[in-house]
Amino acid sequence: MSKDQFIIVAIDGGAASGKSSTSRGLRDRFCLMRVDTGSFYRSITLKLLEAGVEAKSNAKLNQALEKMELKTEIESGDAMISIDGWTPDESIRSERINHSVSDYAALPEVRGRLLQYQRNQKEVAQENGYSGLIMEGRDIGSVIFPDANVKLFLDASPEARALRRAKEGIVDSMEKRDRIDSTRKTAPLKRPEGSIIIDSSEMSLEEVIDEAAKYIEAALNS
Ligand code: C5P
């Protein structure tokens, strides 16, 4: 690709596989707009819970999703979802949301509501002068941007992942989330075709960022 071409980097992986810290490092190194799609699913989950909408396919869910006005605000290089004028805070990382998010994210209606919105982040990044987009989630390289210039799949041992969450002081149902995420019918968590696996169990964050950066450099120079 030529230097002035817009680059798309997709990062997928399970809970606590290191996607967020890695994508933040790459965002800053390559001046990319970062999109944490997990925060979108978490925000929608919070709004549906607040409205008393259960994680079930029915008219109430459809109505609630249809009514939501989704916009994007950029904060320090991160695309933040805004739902009816509300932007997420730390409450989307609570135990309650960790517990419920995968049930809502498994619903085709919820995924459908976010599909085009996620793809539109490319235009948001371009309009705001970024040279590329780094998007992390579960189905970015497989469904959202299957033609991304770089597709990374992060992995880590269960021990390394549990240790990370313990250090962050977060209570998370990681195994349960991964099980629901990888067995759902619509856009399950899986290694996207053509993706590069980085197992970060024995690596420092800097090492993971450096390793991922090599593939981005290679794409930019190809
Ligand atoms: O990335 P994070 O752990 O914050 O994601 C929270 C949840 O959102 C995941 O466990 C998954 O259920 C859902 N998710 C998804 N598809 C994405 C990103 C997140 O289903 N692309």
User: Whose CA is closest to 41, among 88, 76, 95, 84?
Assistant: 88
| pLDDT band with cut points at 50, 70 and 90 for residue 1 | confident
Per-residue tokens: 157: 């041992």
Q: Is 63 part of a structural domain of the chain?
A: yes
Cα separation, 80 vs 97, in Å, equals 17
Q: Is 196 part of a structural domain of the chain?
A: yes
Q: Is 57 part of a structural domain of the chain?
A: yes
pLDDT at 9 over 80: yes
Four-point Cα dihedral 141, 145, 151, 154, nearest 10: -40
205-213 mean pLDDT: 97
Cα separation, 130 vs 185, in Å, equals 34
88-104 mean pLDDT: 95
Give the amino acid at 30: F
Q: Is 2 part of a structural domain of the chain?
A: no
pLDDT at 171 over 90: no
**Residue of 152 and 167 predicted with greater confidence:** 152
Q: What is the pLDDT of residue 170?
A: 77
Task: Name the percent of the chain lying above pLDDT 70.
Answer: 99
15-21 mean pLDDT: 93
Q: Is 194 part of a structural domain of the chain?
A: yes
User: Whose CA is closest to 132, among 200, 12, 43, 213?
Assistant: 213
- 213 Cα: distance to centroid of ligand 1 (angstroms): 23
Q: What is the pLDDT of residue 166?
A: 86
Q: Is 159 part of a structural domain of the chain?
A: yes
Q: What is the pLDDT of residue 3?
A: 61
| pLDDT band with cut points at 50, 70 and 90 for residue 2 | low
Q: Is 1 part of a structural domain of the chain?
A: no
- 13 Cα: distance to centroid of ligand 1 (angstroms): 9
Q: Is 127 part of a structural domain of the chain?
A: yes
8-16 mean pLDDT: 96
Beta carbons within 10 angstroms of residue 113's beta carbon:
19
164-192 mean pLDDT: 90
Strand, coil or helix: what is 204? coil
- 37 Cα: distance to centroid of ligand 1 (angstroms): 7
pLDDT at 131 over 80: yes
Q: Which atom of ligand 1 is nearest to the CA of 181?
A: 12
Q: Which atom of ligand 1 is nearest to the CA of 39?
A: 4
Ligand 1 contacts CB of residue 41 (under 6 A): yes
Q: How many domains does the chain have?
A: 1
- The DSSP line for 153-165 is EEE--HHHHHHHH
Q: Maximum Cα–Cα distance for the chain, whole Å?
A: 50
155-178 mean pLDDT: 87
85-113 mean pLDDT: 96
Q: What is the pLDDT of residue 115?
A: 98
Helix (H) or strand (E) holding 219: helix 205-221
Question: Range with the lowest mean pLDDT among 39-43, 94-98, 108-112, 169-173?
Answer: 169-173
State which residues form the domain around 194.
Answer: 7-221
Residues 70-84 have pLDDT tens digits of 999 999 999 999 999
Q: What is the CATH number of the domain that holds 102?
A: 3.40.50.300
